[in-house]
Amino acid sequence: MITTQREIQGLASAWQESRALLAAVELDLFTHAGAGATAPEIAALARTDPRCTDRLLSVMVTLGFMEKRGGRYYNSPGADEYLVRGRERYMSNLHHLAHTFRNWATLAEAVRAGTAVVDTRWESDDRREAFIEAMHRRARYEAEGLAARLALSGARRILDVGGGSGVYSMAMCRAREELEAVVLDLPEVTRLTRRYVAEAGLEDRISTVDGDYLTADFGVSKYDLVFFSAIVHINSPQENQSLMDRAFAALRPGGCIAVQDFIMEDDRLDPPSGALFALNMIVNTRAGDTYTRSEVAGWLDQAGCVNVKYEKTGPTTGMITGERK
């Protein structure tokens, strides 16, 4: 619980350090620093102003991301591992955070209006690719574990709705050799999906379908599993009910719908990160939100599912499944 002015001031100004880090990532300053460089050298590579670049680099030193010795800036071990482009563990998802930061500046206006007050459409191919890469990087470490939780025995065909890079489809296909997956997403996304799938060597088992999941026909009795990950929080309750209705129709008898997301307790306070993410949906979507266990289970129940169950899948996420008789 916050009790002092100092604590309030610290929290209220914390965005400054965050924005400085994101700016350094956007400008690739850690990459340009290489094995050590002066501010003018880094600025020449980043095509930035030398004086302002020096001031931003100084902040990176004060935050512990860099060291300064003999007028040259050197990455810390952590920055060298996570913030240098091309490294195996490069945190490319920070570019997506930099994009969403701008929308968060409109939070007060969005709360007044009850919806996002900025254009929520993709502004550029770069922004779209940054988002898909961020989601791929976040999910690839948990996808294998989630595939193991799903009842894939006997399943032969799945529909991955709004599947982005196809990261979960890849994990499920690796978990079960007989499985084939279809990733449905917008055409500007599926071209990226096919690239990720090709890199994984799974083109013969994972295909794509172009479509807007809010209006697409999922077909009738075609799939053993219809999977949604990080999808329902983008939509209104009415849109999510429509998704579950169409997903249910697309199931073969004995098939399953699985919804993974921030699944909130009914008081909407747990997990705390889900409460904060609800604000992210307010500034970035027309009607998105984080939803409770009873809300998600209710959509599945109304669609016709039986044996509706919840399980925790991570520190901040959960999954609710329902079956078709």
Mean pLDDT by 10 residues, the chain (325 residues): 90 95 98 98 98 98 98 98 94 89 94 91 74 86 89 92 97 95 96 96 97 97 97 98 98 97 95 95 95 98 98 93 96
CATH number of 5-91: 1.10.10.10
pLDDT value of position 2: 81
- What is residue 133's predicted lDDT score, i.e. its pLDDT? 87
Cβ(79)–Cβ(65) under 8 Å?
A: yes
Q: Cβ(184)–Cβ(209) under 8 Å?
A: yes
| Max Cα distance, the chain (Å) | 71
The pLDDT score that the predictor gives to residue 266 is: 94
Instruction: Count how many Cα atoms sit within 13 Å of the Cα of residue 157 in the half-sphere of its side chain.
Output: 13
Q: Which two tokens stand for residue 92?
A: 């490319």
Determine the pLDDT at residue 112.
97
| Cα 285 from Cα 298, distance rounded (Å) | 23
The Cα 305–Cα 255 span in angstroms is 10
List the CATH code of the domain at 130-323.
3.40.50.150
Taking the C-alpha atoms of residue 54 and residue 299, their distance in angstroms, rounded to an integer, is 54
pTM exceeding 0.75 = yes
Look at residue 198 in the predicted model and tell me its pLDDT. 97
CA distance 246 to 184: 13
Distance, CA of 175 to CA of 233 (rounded, Å): 27
- Sequential DSSP letters for 76-97: -HHHHHHSSTTSTT--THHHHH
Q: For 124, which DSSP code?
A: -
Return the pLDDT at 123: 58
Q: Where are the domains of the chain?
A: 5-91, 130-323
Apex CA 210: angle with CA 216 and CA 166, to 5°?
Answer: 105
* 233 assigned to active site: yes
Q: Among 95, 96, 99, 233, which one carries the catalytic annotation?
A: 233
How many angstroms separate the CA atoms of 24 and 204, rounded?
40
